[in-house]
Amino acid sequence: MAGPLSHITVIELAGIGPGPFACMILADLGANVIRIDRPPAPGRSRVDDLMRNDGVVDRGRRSLSLNMKDPRAVQAVLGLVRKADVLIEGYRPGVAEKLGLGPAECMAVNPLVVYGRMTGWGQTGPLAECAGHDINYIALSGALHAIGTRARPLPPLNLAGDYGGGGMLLVIGVLAALAERQSSGRGQVVDAAMTDGAALLMAPIYGMMAKGFWRDERESNLLDGAAHFYGTYRCADGRFVSIGAIEPQFYEKLLQLCGIDDPHFRRQWEQSEWAALRTKLESVFASRTREQWCELLEGSDACFAPVLSMTEVRSHPHNAARGTFVAASDGVVQPAPAPRFDRTPVELPAKAPRAGEHTRELLARAGASPDLIDELLRESVAYEGAGSAVS
Question: What's 293's domain CATH number?
Answer: 3.30.1540.10
56/153 same-domain check:
yes
Kindly state whether residue 222 falls inside one of the protein's structural domains.
Answer: no
Say yes or no to pLDDT of 49 above 80: no
39/105 same-domain check:
yes
258/335 same-domain check:
no
Task: Find the CATH number of the domain harbouring 165.
Answer: 3.40.50.10540
Q: How far is CA 279 from CA 165, 207, 228, 251, 285, in A?
A: 35, 30, 8, 17, 10
Say yes or no to pLDDT of 27 above 50: yes
Catalytic-role residue among 28, 37, 85, 162: 162
State how far the Cα of 304 lies from the Cα of 250, in Å rounded to an integer.
10
Kindly state whether residue 2 falls inside one of the protein's structural domains.
Answer: no
The pLDDT of residue 387? 44
Say yes or no to pLDDT of 330 above 70: yes
83/117 same-domain check:
yes
State how far the Cα of 104 lies from the Cα of 232, in Å rounded to an integer.
51
268/185 same-domain check:
no
State how far the Cα of 190 lies from the Cα of 176, in Å rounded to an integer.
9
Quick check: is 28 catalytic?
Answer: no
Q: Which of 33-37, 44-48, 245-249, 277-281 bottoms out in mean pLDDT, i.e. has the lowest?
A: 44-48
Q: What is the pTM of this model?
A: 0.94
Percent of the chain residues past pLDDT 90, beyond the cut: 92
Query: Parallel, antiparallel, or unpaired: how do β-strands 230-234 and 240-244 relate?
Result: antiparallel
306/335 same-domain check:
no
Kindly state whether residue 115 falls inside one of the protein's structural domains.
Answer: yes
Instruction: Give the residue among 380, 353, 386 at the shortest CA–CA distance from 73.
Output: 380
Say yes or no to pLDDT of 318 above 70: yes
Query: Parallel, antiparallel, or unpaired: how do β-strands 189-193 and 230-234 relate?
Result: unpaired
Q: Which residues are 35's β-sheet partners?
A: 12, 63
Say yes or no to pLDDT of 388 above 60: no
C-alpha torsion 78→83→89→93, nearest 10? 50
13/106 same-domain check:
yes
C-alpha torsion 246→157→137→128, nearest 10? -150
Q: Which of 10-14, 40-44, 238-242, 331-335 bottoms out in mean pLDDT, i.e. has the lowest?
A: 40-44
State how far the Cα of 31 lies from the Cα of 305, in Å rounded to an integer.
35
- Number of helices (H) and strands (E), helices first, in the chain? 16, 12
Catalytic-role residue among 133, 145, 301, 316: 133
DSSP string, 240-295: EEEEE--SHHHHHHHHHHHT---GGGG-TT-GGGHHHHHHHHHHHHTTS-HHHHHH
Kindly state whether residue 216 falls inside one of the protein's structural domains.
Answer: no
92/183 same-domain check:
yes
DSSP string, 183-247: HH----EEEEEHHHHHHHHTHHHHHHHHTT---SSTTSSTTTT-STTEEEEE-TTS-EEEEE--S
What is the arithmetic mean of pLDDT over 132-142?
A: 97
Residues in the chain, overall count: 391
Say yes or no to pLDDT of 148 above 60: yes
Give the domain extent around 52. 9-201+329-383
Kindly state whether residue 177 falls inside one of the protein's structural domains.
Answer: yes
180/254 same-domain check:
no
271/184 same-domain check:
no
For residues 137 and 121, the answer to whether their CB atoms sit within 8 Å is yes
What is the arithmetic mean of pLDDT over 94-121?
A: 98
Question: What's the total number of domains in the chain?
Answer: 2
349/307 same-domain check:
no
The pLDDT of residue 45? 54
Rg, C-alpha atoms of the chain: 25
Q: What is the mean pLDDT of the chain?
A: 94
State how far the Cα of 291 lies from the Cα of 239, in Å rounded to an integer.
9
Percent of the chain residues past pLDDT 70, beyond the cut: 95
Quick check: is 162 catalytic?
Answer: yes
Instruction: Give the residue among 35, 2, 8, 32 at the shortest CA–CA distance from 20.
Output: 35
What is the arithmetic mean of pLDDT over 148-164?
A: 96
346/254 same-domain check:
no
Say yes or no to pLDDT of 242 above 50: yes
Say yes or no to pLDDT of 313 above 60: yes
Q: Which of 11-25, 40-54, 126-140, 376-390 bottoms out in mean pLDDT, i.e. has the lowest?
A: 40-54
Say yes or no to pLDDT of 391 above 50: no
The pLDDT of residue 40? 77
Kindly state whether residue 176 falls inside one of the protein's structural domains.
Answer: yes
